[in-house]
Each structure stands twice: as C-alpha cells, then as structure tokens.
Structure 1
Amino acid sequence: MTDLSGWLRQGVEAVEAWQRSFADYPAHPCQQVDPDRFRAAFAELTGRLTENYPFFHPDYAGQMLKPPHPVAVAGYLTAMLVNPNNHAQDGGPATAKMEREAVAALANMFGFDTHLGHLTGGGTVANLEALFVARESHPGKGVAFSAESHYTHARMCHVLGMPGYTVPVDAAGRMDLGALEDLLRNEDIGTVVVTAGTTGLGAVDPIHDALALKDEYGIRLHVDAAYGGFFTLLGEEESVDTRPWRAIAGCDSVVVDPHKHGLQPYGCGAVVFADPEVARFYHHDSPYTYFTDADLHLGEISLECSRAGAAAAALWLTFQVIPPTRDGLGRYLAAGRRAALGWAELLADSPHLELYQQPELDIVSYFPRRDSLSAIDAASARVMTDGMRAGRDPVFLSVLKVSAADFARRHPAVKADVDGARLLRSVLMKPESEARVDRLHRRVEALADDAG
C-alpha cells in the first residue's frame, strides 16, 4: 500500500525546514483560525465530497476520470505549500526549471528534435495556443478538423475568428483523408488538426498519411493528442499500429493532457511546437515581470499568465519515479488497452450486448442487443441509470450519442426508426480495470437483460 500520508508529511517537513532557514517573524493575528469553526467546516467539506462518484474504483468505467497517482499528489501538495507561479522565472525559479525539463521529456516522447512548449491548464487552452500560432503563421486561412474531433476546435476557431471546416470520418471514426483533400483543393485552409485518440471512441486519425499532404498543400499539421498522446509509448509488442504515433515527429505541434493518462491532477495540459521560432508570435512586454533571466520566460511563450508551479512539480516528480517510457508509464497504458481489448472479446460472444466498434485505445463502445435504434437508446439509458443505483454494488458507465447514419455503417441490420441513439461507453483508464473486466461484463450483461 502506498504511504501517501508519509510522503505528505515528508513534504510538509521539508517546506517547514526551508521556511525556518529565513529570519523569524511573528504571525499576523488575522492568520489565526477558530479551531471549532474549522472543524465544523472541514467536516462539511469531507461530507460533501462523498457526493462524488467513486472515480478511484475500477467499477467506475464512465467518463475520463481517475485520481492522480500518489507520487503526483505528493509533488503537487508539497510545491503548493510554496505556491510558485510559473509565469515568470522570479515567480517560480525551481518549478520553472522543472517545467522545462518535464516538457522536454514530452517533446522527446513524441520524437521532436527541437521544441518550444509549456504546460497549460488543460487541453482546451493548449489547443487554443496551437490554433493561435496557426492563425499567426497562416493569416486569413481556415482550420480543418474531423467530425469526431473535440468540440474545442470549432469553439476556438470562433474565438480566434478563423473559418473552421469539418471533415467527414470513415466507418471507424477516423478522418477521411479523401474528403480532407477535397477540402484542401477547394477551400483556403492553412491548418489541419488530426486527432490521436478521439474522446468519444478513442479513434486515431491516419496521421502518417496526412503527413503527405503537409508539403503538397503548404499546411500546418497539428495533433490533438490530449486524450491519447501517451499511447505513443506502446508499440508493436502490444499490437499497436505505430505508424500514426511515429508520424507525430513530423508534425508542427502536438497537445497532450498529463491529467488524463499522465497520472496528474487537474489541470495539467501541455502544448509542444516543433519549431522554437514560433515564440515570435507570443511577443509582449510587461513593465515588472521579465527581468531575472535573459532567456525567454515561460510567460513569454504562453497565452496564460499565472500558472501553478505545483503542476510542474507534480509532473516532474512523476517522471522521475515513473518515466514516460514503455517500461515506465507505458505499463499503465498497456493495462488499460488490454482491458478494452479483453472486454471487446467478451462482447463478441455476448447474447445481451454487442460491440459497437473495435477499440483502438482504452475506450469500449457497445449497446444492448435490440432490433431498433429507439429500443437501443432506451435500454442504454436504463442500463446506465440502473447501474449507478445498484446499491452497494454499482457500476458506473457513460453513454455516447451517435447518428443513425453512423450506426448503420457499423450495424446495418438494426432498424433505424429514429435519428440517433445513445450507446454505452466505458473508459478503462485505471490499470486495475484489467482484472475487473470479466466482472464488469457480467454486471452490465445482467443490467442489459433486465432493461427489457
């Protein structure tokens, strides 16, 4: 069992020892807190936190949520006691260096020979930054992204005043490059966003094939790997098609969220550019901030200003203990993917459930066997609801709404009596899920059978 409390004590003691190395001073009276009032408020806080779903438990197979690794918690909370701000070197000299080292590890993971990058509050801001650089480098041109890409791209195109173009997907939810090329021939597009792990199905766009279009059409190629980026650590040993992942090294930028598969707490995203010269697009000045280092401060290559140095400390410490390698962090990814593939095999033989499409990463999509879309929709909703309400033995799932056309491409025999339907969706991010799949499958089968 991880001794998290012991690690946290070490962190508190280390920070207190550092604080004692400076001149003593009396605490201001306003720092005093009434102990009874604190106890009452804290009791209410901990009580209200129990209203959350059990994200830590392998029977929680719903959204992309799980607790951070205890190593990351220890690093975050220890640095939080110092409360550094990684906007500028003088706001967090130690954690700014940690951030640069952690981002360099991410760039190396994706195969970038050179890079410029930093941490962000999450994938939304990281993708905003990538599209901001795209706008500045290709002014007046639009952005193309797949119909299965994250909604943030359409939203950020609106924020940045850029035309956004949706590209159809194939029967596996991957960007249709034939349709993309038609767009590139007929529209003024400067940037194409390819996705390494869609948040709905976990599909990976054919990045390696999209690279051929980069030079031909003079486009930027940005990879949204917020969800799936760390799967680049896996390889042929895990029966992974490595071509899209290796191709990221030839793209212009990539986004990844360590607060998903990197074992970090929210919020910890990252954007990495292959060309350090994009720093020119961030140029700005501050009359009181950037004076302690001749090199570019992290705030000078970021749209965000104040950022928690604790996030950098947590990621840095995690990478020291669990490095971003196949034998380090890759073991966590491999376990989740094995869980998804194992569940897919069980679904293939199930009389009550049917696999929607073969998983690529660790997301499994499936539905109760029914003869019409309306019946599938109703049964899926009931399975999810009944699973959450199952007393002391609940199962937590999520649903994914798909169109009748997308469903028919995969399962044409089902009667399309409505425009779309909700399916069941399970995200198996926790390595413990691998040993739980058989039990999860039996529980969901029973729920589907009872759903009528």
Structure 2
Amino acid sequence: MDLRYWLGQAVETVEEWAAEFGPFAPHPSHHVGDDEFAVAFADFGKRLRDNYPFFHPRYIGQMVKPPHPAAVVGYLTAMRLNPNNHAREGGPATADMEREVIAELAAMFGLGSHLGHLTTSGTMGNLESLYVARETHPGAGIAYSADSHFTHARMCHVLGVRGHAVPVDAHGRMDLDALEDLLRRERIGTVVLTAGTTGTGAVDPVHEALELKARHGVRLHVDAAYGGFYALLAGEGLFDPRPWRAIASCDSVVVDPHKHGLQPYGCGAVLFSDPQVARYFRHDSPYTYYTPSDLHLGEISLECSRAGAAAAALWLTLRLLPATREGLGRVLLPGLRAARQWAGMLTASPHLTLYQQPELDIVSYFPSEPALSGIDAASARVLADGMTGPDPVYVSALRVDAPALTARHPGLVADAPSARILRSVLIKPETGDHLGHLHHRLEELATRRSSP
C-alpha cells in the first residue's frame, strides 16, 4: 500500500465532492503563505524528533504502535470534513460506520443484542461502564483486582462509589476466593475483570466469575482494553479460550482499537449486552437530534463531541483486515509467538530472569540479581542505558512489591519493599524478526556496571 499515493487520494476525494456544491474561496483570515508555513513546518518536524521510535522493532517499551496506513488515510479523509458523531446530523456517513464497526466488535465477543459506541479511550469506556454500574446498583461498591488498571479506582472516586481492590494470585490474576469473601462481607454491585492487565498481560478468570455472578447477583464488567482482540485467537490452542468466550455472558466490555486494532489514539469502544441501559444516558438537547434515527450515538454516551474520523478510520481498516482470525488475528499472532519464544530465551539466560510466563504479548523480566535492591538498581540502569548509544533498545519498567516477586521467585532476598523490573510489549509483528538481537543487547546492558 503506497501511503503517499493514498494520502493524495484523500485530498482529491474530498475536493471532488466539495466541488459539487459550487466554487468558494477560503476566507482571507485563514491565509498562510507557503514560505511562512515552510518555516513553521520545519520547526515542527524537528520537534517531533524529540520522541521515541514507536514504529521500529527496537522499541519494545509501552503498548504503542503506528496505525495501519488504511487508518491514516481513512482518518485524514474524514477529518477534512470533520464530522461529529454525537448526533446523526453531525456526520451521517460516519455515524453509520460507527454502528457497523461496533456490530463487528460485538460479534468478536459473541454478543448478540448489544448497545455500544466508540470512545476516545478505554478510560472513557470504563467510566461509562462504571457509571451504568452505579445507576443499576445505587449505593453498592465496585470490586476490581489489585493489578487492574488504575483507572478503576480513579473512576470510582469520580463517581462517588466505594472501590474495593481484590488480591491477585501468584500469576497476577484476580483471586476469586478473596473476591467471594468480599462479596459475602460487603455490598458489591459490580465486579471488574481484566482480560490482559497492562502490567504483565495477566487474564482474570472471567469464566469462573460467572458462577459468582449467578450466586451473588453482581454485574460483571470486562476491561479488555488491551487484550480484547485476542478473542480472535481463542480456540486456536494458543491459550485458554474460556475467559474470552465468557465475555458474551458478561454485562459490559471495553476494548481499545488504538492498541491491537491498528488505530490512532482516540479510538476506544464500550459495549453493553443489555440495550436497555440506554435509559441511563437519555438527555434532552434542543439543538441536536433533529434528523431521523432510532437512537443517536450521543444519546448512549457520556461524551458529547466525538471525532467521526475515528469511526471512518476503523471502518476502512476493518474492510481490509476484519475482526476475524484471518484478518486482525493474523496481525496479533506474531507478537504472541514472539512472547513465547522470548520467554524460552529468558528462562535459559544467565543474565536475565523471566518474571512470569506471558499469557499474551507482554513479557516481564529482570536482571539476575540476588536481592530486590540489586534488581531495582540494575533495571534502572538498563532502562536508562538502553536508550543511549549507537545500538539503542527501548523497554519500560514495572514496579512490583516484594511479596509478588518472592512468590514467583522464592530465592530472592527481600531487602526492599518493592523493586522495578523490566517490561516489554511485543505489539508489533515485526519484533519477532529482531528478537535475537534485542535479547543479546539486553543481556549486555544487564551485566554492565555503573562507572566508578
């Protein structure tokens, strides 16, 4: 796909359509000369170089990757029209596209009847899910795992709901025995389960939590912002498919297309299994909602203005790489295999130690030091030194407490309450081809000592 050609087509497509309405000239107040713009753009280009190479296999830090060229072209083309998907009159075409991609995401999770929309992020999707949780169970608390994303504790505070952190097991998954004890002691209305924690990629036992849903009458919300698209590979024998299949029996789910869905930032999604939760979003707007529609997107969302370009980008991408095993699934598969391959290399390494077996494509590890203080110091050196020099490698760090480290590695000396370990996200399919070099480079960095 020739991105330069299709970016040109994006401009021409809009101009051809605009010409149907007759000639007009931009207002003089918008005028900027080419020479003036060239100076500003040159400075802009220099400023962007103060960045990390998220596009390159050397970067294995956070869960960041460039959007697919189709998403770039789709976003840019629609952006020139600047539709607003709050109401149908703000963007009829992109509103329809949004409904279509939401239906495709719902099918990915096995949801039949559903209500959903795109959001600006997984955080906003989780806020909306917890908002509905509060409205359906007023006065009741919300439980989430201690290793879940910090957004859940934050949003409980925003909503004025009591949040309860549930301990995790030795694999970083929610401890359901501890959860049931909490459900017996406290008034809990909703349990948040995570399908792919942002720290280690751990997957909570969603399928087992369904029994607690039936026994205690709680809502189940699945934060699959990171790992949700792995539902496409469930049943391939690569991991336990039951948590993903159980999502169809939960009350709501969040997924972020701006991660494994190849979209630019500003594209999350929330889906509810019961369309009747729309009643909690109903509101009156005297200057919108005047075109025919069963339900405007703004009537099922806490957000108002939302970029129709985000829906256009996802729609065009899914036309080429649908939410199927053969479509987006083939994009996820190399990262999953690379994570398993690297876990084997780390297990055999004398210089780096695997923290825990990866479930998805997040690999956690640390320099092979005997005590937590040494692990923390060595991890900090790798993090800092890896980004400098002629052969850089970019990783991220994860702070874990002493009980979590010693539970997985009982021989460690717990001489500190916590330690930073290293974390890599193999979200780009190209990373597998560079794994040998990246591993060797990190071993070199792990054995390097600070200058006297």
TM-score range, shorter chain: over 0.9
C-alpha distance in 1 between matches for 2:9 and 2:382: 45
Q: What residue is the counterpart of 1:415 in the other structure? A: 413
Q: Secondary structure at the match of 1:436?
A: helix
TM-score normalised according to structure 2 size:
0.98
C-alpha distance in 2 between matches for 1:434 and 1:253: 34
Q: How many Å apart are 1:71 and its aligned residue?
A: 0.8
C-alpha distance in 1 between matches for 2:283 and 2:139: 22
Q: How many Å apart are 1:333 and its aligned residue?
A: 1.1
Preserved contact between residue 339 and residue 363 of structure 2 (Cα < 8 Å):
yes
C-alpha distance in 1 between matches for 2:306 and 2:158: 21
C-alpha distance in 2 between matches for 1:29 and 1:56: 38
Supply the AA of the counterpart residue of 2:341: G
Supply the AA of the counterpart residue of 2:397: V
Supply the AA of the counterpart residue of 1:345: G
Q: How many Å apart are 1:23 and its aligned residue?
A: 2.0
C-alpha distance in 1 between matches for 2:274 and 2:306: 23
Preserved contact between residue 123 and residue 151 of structure 2 (Cα < 8 Å):
yes
Give a deviation string over 1:37-89, Cα, whole Å, max 9, x none: 21111100011001110000011000111111111101001110111000000
Q: What residue is the counterpart of 1:15 in the other structure? A: 14
Give a deviation string over 1:168-211, Cα, whole Å, max 9, x none: 00000000000000000010000000000000000000000001
Aligned identity (percent) is 66
Give a deviation string over 1:218-240, Cα, whole Å, max 9, x none: 11000000011001111343521
Supply the AA of the counterpart residue of 1:400: L
What is the aligned counterpart of 1:397 among 390, 395, 398? 395
- 1:69-148 correspondence runs (5 A): 69-148=68-147
Gaps of 5+ in 1: none
Q: What residue is the counterpart of 1:329 in the other structure? A: 328
C-alpha distance in 1 between matches for 2:109 and 2:274: 14
Supply the AA of the counterpart residue of 1:450: R
TM-score normalised according to structure 1 size:
0.98
Preserved contact between residue 11 and residue 77 of structure 2 (Cα < 8 Å):
yes
C-alpha distance in 2 between matches for 1:31 and 1:183: 60
- 1:98-247 correspondence runs (5 A): 98-247=97-246
- 1:297-312 correspondence runs (5 A): 297-312=296-311
Q: Secondary structure at the match of 1:318?
A: helix
Q: How many Å apart are 1:311 and its aligned residue?
A: 0.1
Q: What residue is the counterpart of 2:442 in the other structure? A: 444
Give a deviation string over 1:369-405, Cα, whole Å, max 9, x none: 01111001000100111110122x2000001000011
Q: How many Å apart are 1:10 and its aligned residue?
A: 1.1
Supply the AA of the counterpart residue of 1:451: R
C-alpha distance in 2 between matches for 1:310 and 1:120: 12
Q: Secondary structure at the match of 1:82?
A: coil
Q: What residue is the counterpart of 1:433 in the other structure? A: 431
The answer as to 2:286 corresponding to 1:280 is no
Q: How many Å apart are 1:437 and its aligned residue?
A: 1.1
C-alpha distance in 1 between matches for 2:31 and 2:295: 40
Preserved contact between residue 234 and residue 244 of structure 2 (Cα < 8 Å):
no
Matched length: 450
Q: How many Å apart are 1:32 and its aligned residue?
A: 1.4
Gaps of 5+ in 2: none
Supply the AA of the counterpart residue of 1:334: L
Supply the AA of the counterpart residue of 2:340: L
C-alpha distance in 1 between matches for 2:25 and 2:238: 62
Q: How many Å apart are 1:294 and its aligned residue?
A: 3.7
- When residues 290 and 236 of structure 1 are mapped into structure 2, their CA distance, relative to the original with a 3 A threshold, is closer
Preserved contact between residue 238 and residue 334 of structure 1 (Cα < 8 Å):
no
Supply the AA of the counterpart residue of 1:29: P
